[in-house]
Structure 1
Amino acid sequence: MSVIQTIRDKAAWIIIGAIALALVAFIVQDALQGGGGGLFSGNSTTLGKVNGTSIDFRDFEQRYKMAEENQRAQGYPINDQTRNQIRESLWNEFVEDALMGKVYDKLGITVSDKELGDLLYGANPPQMLRQQFTDSTGVFNAQMAYQAIRSLKKGTPQYNSFWGEYIPALEKGRQREKFTSLIGKSMYVPKWLLEKSNTENSQRSSISYVNVPYSSISDSTVTVTDEDVREYVNNHKEMYKQENERSLVYVTFDAAPSSADSQAVYKTVSDAKDALAAANTVPEIQNVLANNSSETPFFDGYVLSSHMQMGNADTLRKLADGAVFGPYLDGGNYTLAKMVDRRSMPDSVKSRHILIKFNDPQGPSRTDSAAKKLIDSIEAAIRGGASFDSMVVKFSDDAGSKEKGGEYEFASMQFSNLSKEFAEVIFYGNTGDKKVVKVENQSYSGYHYIEVLSQKKIETAYKLAYLSRPVVPSDETVNGASGAAAQFAAESRNLKDFEANVAKRKLNKFPAEVKESDFMIMGLGESREIVRWAFNDAKKGEVAEHAFMVGDKYVVPALVNVFEKGTMSVEKARPLVEYKIRNNKKAENIIKKIGNASTLEAVAQATGQQVLKADSIAFNSTFIPNVGNEMKVLGAAFNKDYQTKISAPIKGEIGVFVIKVDNISAVPNPSFDVKTQQENIQRQMGAMTGYRTIEVLKKAATIKDNRIKFF
């Protein structure tokens, strides 16, 4: 025991030291990695920088949420593609704000409160306001728009969206408009230049030429080395710049529904046919749809014959009441269709109403009985000869229609957006009908006094019930694809194994080039997680440890190459420049064959080609008849020196040319008006130059994009 105690006493400091070192190592590692708010800016919220100005991720996300809410409020679908589009649009907006904000400040380009008021309520209001606050005569009601905007309450989504997103966008758009106009107005085209261009463009040339095509020399006789590629790229660096990119290959394992999966869904839907046929009331139909997990909810309304655009429309129209058709494939669903009812119905209706609300938190304090008593007295007064318009102005709680005499026009497609009781009166009734109905909505309850003023395009409409089930993969199908992908990934831990397993399993391998900002891989779809893996986690030659789910496929990628921003590497540039270098080498061989030949006939004899002609070559053309897009040859065709001697060999796109100019003439342009031409060109340049100036500023800016670290 004493020996053990001695060891404990003397070793205590070693144990304490070891624990201390472990704690220090843990803290330092955490700080370096940036986990949980490390010491060395690991928790940075800098989404990017533009000329040193930071774009904060929190600001970006706040704006993104507002934009997404706005999209959702307008009824647009919110999916991965929409989210990516919003983020990409916002990123471009933040970059332009950071870049142009300083430019606008320096130039004194601002938007005053008065100017903003003119933008919103002036003669040319934004399209959004024009649509919402234009009366039946087509006149924009600025006062109504002003009152609606003033009524927005702070803290509500509508207020935040309007003042936090819409107004700043409107102001920035106006600043951009001023800037581009300022730049555009600076454009000037001198008349002498236009006259010179007109003279040149009227020229026509006829030439004789010999073309020795590069294809006359076999590719196998010309070697292009890595040094050749490197030298060519270094001599043309501006043409062969690259962004930060990754080169991938990937294989896919299909988890789409199999034929057995499709047959199983077909049987499930078929088995529900008798139950749907036996359902005669709306609740019974709704129960059948709910019990069979129908993808399509029951719409207790009618659809006009002319609006039935589905593939089986003719068959469905001919169904007897109560009859069921199907199952049939509608998109990705197996569907049963039951004819519930049919009736005549207008395509559009004009009506007017008076609304008396009760139980409305935002409206007058009124009970149900008080509202009913008031609407009854209004109805009696109107039937007794009182003016409808005066009743609307005095009593109606619908502020949106007060100044229009309570009038609204609705299309049949809007039926489901209206209160059911209101819609049934105006669409199911007749012109001239006058009726009081009670409505209870989520936002308010109330009584409408309604008069149907007119109905147009009356035709047969159908009420149909649809029971539909999507054709989806079974667990067996999904598990099979998932398992195969997982096994492939486990057995392919490097690029060599990846290639071997592709060959062994006879899989299709697909290449892909991706940038940091990419959200999609061509041919694959939304693949942001794969892109993030390639930039954040993977090293060259590595294979993903697990498969990524993309649509109905499991994808296993491998990182083939890493390309940093700058001049292209030999490997990246070779496919782009190899043929050019090869053609240059072929051109040198062809020029040697031509030697000192001083006539086209001698050139043709030395190269085994023919002397050909090209007539009526226009100076402002981009191609030569029967030759193609050979700009160097086209330029030489107007060199008067070549009227007395043949040209030197010209290295073209498809071969080496030697030409002789036979004739240069001119075709007068009597319609040319230098002043009109000057005005047109300056107008076109002015429209384009402002936008291009902003793009040039972006290109010249130092932009650091960290989005790949955040999403």
Structure 2
Amino acid sequence: MNLCAKGVTLHAIFQKSESAMAVIEKIRQRVGLVVFLIAAAIVAFLLMDALNTTSRMAGNSPVIGAVDGEKIDYQNYQAKIEQITDNYQNNQMEITDETRMQIREQAWNQEVEETLLRRAYDALGISITKEEMESLFTGDNLHASIKSAAAFQDENGQFSRDKLAQYVKSFTDGTEEGKARQRQWKRFEESVLKDELKQKYTNLIKKAVYVPSWYAKEVYVDKNKKANVNYVFVPYTTIQDTEVSFTDSDLKAYLNKNKEKFKQKDSKTIEYLTFDVIPTAEDSAAARKTVADNLEPFKTSEDAGRFVKIQNSDTPFSDKYMKKDEVSGAVKDSLFSVATGTVIGPYYEAGAYKLVKLIDRKMIADSVKVRQIIKIASDQASATKAKTTIDSLKTVLEKGGDFAALAAQFSDDPTTKDKGGDMGYVKPDAINPDLAKAIFYEHKKGDIFTVPTQQGLYLVQITEANPNAEAVKFATFSKNVEPSEQTRNAAFAKAQQFAGANTTADAFRKAATDQNLIIKKAENIEKNTYNITGLGISEEIATWAFLNEAGNVSSRIFQIEEDLKDGSGRSKTIYVLPMVSGAKAEGTASVDDVRTQLEAEVRKEKKAEKIVAKIGSAADLQAIATATGQEVKSAAELDFNSFSLADLGREPQVQGKLFGLQPSAVSKPIVGDKGVYVVQVTSFTDATPPADLSATKAEIGQPLKQSADFGVIQALTKAAKVDDERYKTRRY
């Protein structure tokens, strides 16, 4: 059962222990003993968690940010990180450095969201009542996650209150599993309460959505009114860049008029040097010698798979049989031609020296048809019972018993038991590895055999198999060519020596030039950046940059790992020496910060002025076309919502002014994104709104209601002042 969820701080559920006791007493009066026990346990856990939450909040946890001045503390944030990490691990998801950073962002967003929502709930008086609590966890209106959880279902797949009671009782059985289930249940409770509160809140917003008839009429007309137009379009490209000029004053004036377009956050720019740790010739020779020294022992080993494991080969052993199209590398062809027991190598490939020994070669099937009986085992007692049952069934089958009937009666697999245990045709990569090994490599058609797995014991029969492809099993002993400690120390010493000798920006740049070192640059590093362009996951460097002023050269050498991208999955170490070369303050960008964008916009303005001057006093489209060297074009059936001109895409300025024109009237020059336009409406096809506007109202209102589910957080966040100061608590 997976009841883990994102979690939420419980608030205003039970203010006093007396409230909890009142809920328990009310449940006792209304339901039976079993349900009462469940309810009592749930309420107790809720109360305990609420008290624990209060206790945590009372500590001296560091502050990592604030929402409109309300502090967010580190301890709650860290608890969320641990909880989300647990969820990843419970779902067997790989946790990489990138994933860890994403988890931190997810935890932070949860903290902000919960703070914003709690304030909204408090302002509106939204809460979960005691009666709703009863209904969700013990009453007739049980939460869907409880009713659908496999752990709470009986043998007929129906929800069982007895199963739920047993589950809750297991919290206090003294085992680690029981404690884990208790923690999981708490998170589930919190998640349900969080979802219920948010559902109430968003429902209020949805109920507030109202589309008046006058607005529905306007939307209907905008969508269905059509315009036929003639127009002249003069592209900015008709004016050469060299024909216009502007000064920094022009750029500043444009910036002042369009401040909202050029908002920026606090950020730093760094310049940095990298010192790669590259294996030397001596490192390569050492790896080759290790492989060569193991050639004879590898040849004479009776168990090649065990040999590569004991000798710490950098290529792990797999006892899988592989067809030719599954084998890669230099020995692909040789493995299918040499005798069993042959050792190939030493040879160099993908950054490693290797030996390969052919263990076996046989014909295997692409897929086989099998049927199974499964007895699930979760502990030693159930494993012993499962073995006894499976052994007895195997004996019956070997004497001619009916596999299908036995599967229907004894198998614990609900997906195959009603089909006589038939799994259909299976491929080795699509089933449990232990099963695949037994089915494809150790048995043949007609065999009946048992396979122990972590889930339990399988009784399997192969009903169809056609071995049609040659496959090999082999072992690889390899040693990667890795930098030695001496090589690593030399690269680090070089970086450290450079840092010690060049402590200013000018010295940093001059020394890099003198030593033919390439200075790289990373811009717009914000407070909590963890992924730096060119460096990848570099949280420590980002933190250092934001805590230092422009011109500072780091006294510390940072270390990152970079994927070799040679197919080996290995990485190389790089030492990084950064320098803060620039800083941007939150607010409107300076001219220098956005000079390129400003120049592009001001250049368009200057070109527009020249085009408008060319148009002059020309009053009809043909005269305008002649004056500007263009032609009169036409467009039909344009509407306000999907407005576009052929090959030009959307032009909002033209769109807005066109539908405000009277038929036959010629517009003044309209400055657009791609050039200057002059438009004449030849005709409008008016749209008459229907008497019944319900369909239009629904079309308008439904998306607004749907957006409440995700848009409310965006709106609350935008309206709040969120200070994210997590970087101050990080070490570098």
Q: What is the TM-score with the length of structure 2 in the denominator?
A: 0.71
1:203–1:277: structure 2 CA closer, same or farther, 3 Å change rule? Answer: farther
Match of 1:296 among 309, 315, 333: 315
Residue equivalent to 1:556: 577
Contact 2:272 2:578 in 1 (8 A): yes
Residue equivalent to 1:656: 676
Match of 1:609 among 629, 648, 653: 629
Match of 2:117 among 100, 105, 116: 100
Residue equivalent to 2:56: none
Contact 1:432 1:452 in 2 (8 A): no
| Matched letter for residue 247 of structure 1 | T
Residue equivalent to 2:37: none
Q: Distance in 2 between matches of 1:483 and 1:356?
A: 57
What is the CA deviation profile of residues 430-449 of structure 1, one whole-angstrom value per residue up to 9, with x for unaligned ones?
67766689x798x9xx9x6x
User: For this pair of structures, how many residues does the alignment match?
Assistant: 639
What is the CA deviation profile of residues 59-91 of structure 1, one whole-angstrom value per residue up to 9, with x for unaligned ones?
222332333244334333333212111111111
Q: Distance in 1 between matches of 2:349 and 2:189?
A: 43
Residue equivalent to 2:52: none
SS in 2 for 1:643: coil
Contact 1:51 1:701 in 2 (8 A): yes
State whether structure 2 residue 549 is matched by structure 1 residue 519.
no
Q: 1:688, CA displacement in angstroms?
A: 2.0
1:499–1:699: structure 2 CA closer, same or farther, 3 Å change rule? Answer: same
Q: Distance in 2 between matches of 1:455 and 1:430?
A: 9
| Matched letter for residue 66 of structure 1 | Q
Q: Distance in 1 between matches of 2:280 and 2:688?
A: 68
What is the CA deviation profile of residues 254-308 of structure 1, one whole-angstrom value per residue up to 9, with x for unaligned ones?
33557886676467546645543433x33x54224432x2123334x43465994
1:377–1:697: structure 2 CA closer, same or farther, 3 Å change rule? Answer: closer
Q: 1:534, CA displacement in angstroms?
A: 1.0
Alignment of 1:447-596 (within 5 A): 451-453=459-461, 459=467, 462-475=472-485, 477-506=487-516, 507-536=518-547, 538-551=548-561, 552-592=573-613, 594-596=615-617
Residue equivalent to 1:633: 654
Identity of aligned residues (%): 26
State whether structure 2 residue 276 is matched by structure 1 residue 254.
yes
Q: Distance in 1 between matches of 2:85 and 2:635?
A: 60
1:309–1:115: structure 2 CA closer, same or farther, 3 Å change rule? Answer: farther
What is the CA deviation profile of residues 202-244 of structure 1, one whole-angstrom value per residue up to 9, with x for unaligned ones?
413322325262661535852331x544443333333322222
| Matched letter for residue 73 of structure 2 | D
Contact 2:277 2:575 in 1 (8 A): yes
Residue equivalent to 1:707: 726
Q: 1:380, CA displacement in angstroms?
A: 7.7
1:470–1:530: structure 2 CA closer, same or farther, 3 Å change rule? Answer: same
Q: 1:699, CA displacement in angstroms?
A: 1.4
Larger radius of gyration: 1
Residue equivalent to 1:286: 306
SS in 2 for 1:640: coil
Match of 2:715 among 696, 701, 709: 696
State whether structure 2 residue 226 is matched by structure 1 residue 203.
yes
Contact 2:343 2:355 in 1 (8 A): yes
Q: 1:634, CA displacement in angstroms?
A: 3.4
Residue equivalent to 1:77: 94
1:387–1:167: structure 2 CA closer, same or farther, 3 Å change rule? Answer: farther
Q: Distance in 2 between matches of 1:624 and 1:672?
A: 32
State whether structure 2 residue 336 is matched by structure 1 residue 318.
yes
What is the CA deviation profile of residues 550-579 of structure 1, one whole-angstrom value per residue up to 9, with x for unaligned ones?
223222222122223222233323333232
Contact 1:224 1:581 in 2 (8 A): no
1:47–1:136: structure 2 CA closer, same or farther, 3 Å change rule? Answer: same
| Matched letter for residue 524 of structure 1 | L
Residue equivalent to 1:68: 85
1:629–1:326: structure 2 CA closer, same or farther, 3 Å change rule? Answer: farther
Q: Distance in 2 between matches of 1:371 and 1:604?
A: 89
Residue equivalent to 2:40: none
Contact 1:382 1:388 in 2 (8 A): yes
What is the CA deviation profile of residues 314-371 of structure 1, one whole-angstrom value per residue up to 9, with x for unaligned ones?
648735533445667876655544332355576675432558999x4xx58x9x9x99
| Matched letter for residue 653 of structure 2 | K
Q: Distance in 2 between matches of 1:616 and 1:630?
A: 16
1:595–1:337: structure 2 CA closer, same or farther, 3 Å change rule? Answer: same
Match of 1:238 among 247, 255, 260: 260
| Matched letter for residue 224 of structure 1 | T
Alignment of 1:345-494 (within 5 A): 349-352=370-373, 360=380, 363=381, 412-413=428-429, 424=438, 428-429=442-443, 451-453=459-461, 459=467, 462-475=472-485, 477-494=487-504
Match of 1:222 among 237, 245, 261: 245
Q: 1:494, CA displacement in angstroms?
A: 2.4
Q: 1:636, CA displacement in angstroms?
A: 3.3
SS in 1 for 2:592: helix
Q: Distance in 1 between matches of 2:688 and 2:354?
A: 67
Q: 1:700, CA displacement in angstroms?
A: 1.1
State whether structure 2 residue 645 is matched by structure 1 residue 621.
no
Return 504-513 or 317-326, whichever deviates more.
Answer: 317-326
SS in 2 for 1:47: strand
What is the CA deviation profile of residues 592-627 of structure 1, one whole-angstrom value per residue up to 9, with x for unaligned ones?
554444345655666x53343232262333532244
Q: Distance in 1 between matches of 2:691 and 2:440?
A: 62
Q: Distance in 1 between matches of 2:308 and 2:325?
A: 26
1:168–1:219: structure 2 CA closer, same or farther, 3 Å change rule? Answer: farther
Residue equivalent to 1:14: none
Contact 1:210 1:603 in 2 (8 A): no
Match of 2:145 among 101, 120, 127: 120
Q: 1:141, CA displacement in angstroms?
A: 7.1
SS in 1 for 2:594: helix
| Matched letter for residue 710 of structure 2 | Y
| Matched letter for residue 684 of structure 1 | P
Contact 2:227 2:637 in 1 (8 A): yes
Alignment of 1:130-145 (within 5 A): none
Contact 1:254 1:481 in 2 (8 A): yes
Q: Distance in 1 between matches of 2:610 and 2:351?
A: 61
| Matched letter for residue 246 of structure 1 | K
Q: Distance in 1 between matches of 2:261 and 2:671?
A: 19
Q: 1:498, CA displacement in angstroms?
A: 2.9
What is the CA deviation profile of residues 667-694 of structure 1, one whole-angstrom value per residue up to 9, with x for unaligned ones?
9899999655544443333222331122
SS in 2 for 1:614: strand
SS in 1 for 2:143: helix
| Matched letter for residue 236 of structure 1 | N
SS in 2 for 1:572: coil
Q: What is the TM-score with the length of structure 1 in the denominator?
A: 0.73
Q: 1:530, CA displacement in angstroms?
A: 0.8
1:135–1:220: structure 2 CA closer, same or farther, 3 Å change rule? Answer: farther
Residue equivalent to 1:158: 180
1:402–1:560: structure 2 CA closer, same or farther, 3 Å change rule? Answer: closer
Residue equivalent to 1:53: 70
| Matched letter for residue 530 of structure 1 | I
Contact 1:304 1:462 in 2 (8 A): yes
Contact 2:450 2:460 in 1 (8 A): no
1:209–1:148: structure 2 CA closer, same or farther, 3 Å change rule? Answer: same
1:308–1:231: structure 2 CA closer, same or farther, 3 Å change rule? Answer: same
1:261–1:639: structure 2 CA closer, same or farther, 3 Å change rule? Answer: farther
| Matched letter for residue 473 of structure 2 | K
**Which segments of 5 or more consecutive residues in structure 1 lack a partner in the other structure?**
1-42
State whether structure 2 residue 708 is matched by structure 1 residue 686.
no
